[in-house]
Amino acid sequence: MITDLYLIDTETTGLRGFPVDHVVDVGVCRIDLSAGSFEPVYSSIVGHDVSLWNRNLRESWIFENSDLTLSDVASAPPVASIADDLNNILSGEFVTSYNVDFDFRKFLRHDPFFMHSYVAKVLPDPMLAATPILKIAGSNGYKWPRLEEAYSSLCPDDPAGIGCHQDHRALSDAKVASCVLIELHKRGHYKV
């Protein structure tokens, strides 16, 4: 039985994935399932040469809906440095995210991150585990719950300390997702 794992969250310039969109913010928490606790272990804005970006990238959702700016991205450590940091932290570890398909398949398994299964062991997606619990109606059955929907339903006491306001930054979202995963585990709905 796995008791220690990592949860990673990324903020990106869009939903299309690499190489069209880019990771611009990363946050990682370590979760201790036996204690029902988490701790932040890594957070960084991901640097890119934004002068090469087209209008869609420069005006992407993340820059319109969070405090992250193009200047922050332009002056942050380069993406290769962040990829090295993440691979050093997560190499050989168990890891997940809230929406594994998005974070890993679309971004983290590609250049420069290359976070394949031989680097980190990817665990089941807590978002998928929350779907039959929350039972939010969708067009074809239950829809995958957004992180804020899962958190407000499963963690009404705000254990991540966000004050019921999601700021759409990677570390904050990693904390929120960690609380959701811990609660799902406590209720017997996330078994690893």
Q: In angstroms, rounded to a whole number, what is the distance separating the alpha carbons of residues 47 and 77? A: 5
Please tell me the pTM assigned to this model: 0.95
Helix, strand, or coil (residue 12): strand
All structural domains of the chain, each given as residue ranges with its CATH number in brackets, are 4-186 (3.30.420.10)
- For the record, the structure tokens of 31 come out as 């979760």
Task: Give residues with Cβ within 8 angstroms of 2, minimum separation 6.
Answer: 33, 94, 123, 192
**Degrees, nearest 5: CA angle 45-50-51:** 160
Residue-wise pLDDT for 3-49, tens only, equals 999 999 999 999 999 999 999 999 999 999 999 999 999 999 999 99
Exposed / middle / buried, residue 144 (Cβ in 10 Å: 0-12, 13-18, 19+): middle
Q: Is the pLDDT of residue 137 over 80?
A: yes
Percent of the residues in the chain that have a pLDDT greater than 70, as a whole number: 98
Q: Is the pLDDT of residue 88 over 80?
A: yes
Question: Looking at residue 50, what DSSP letter applies?
Answer: G
Residue-wise pLDDT for 95-122, tens only, equals 999 999 999 999 999 888 887 766 789 9
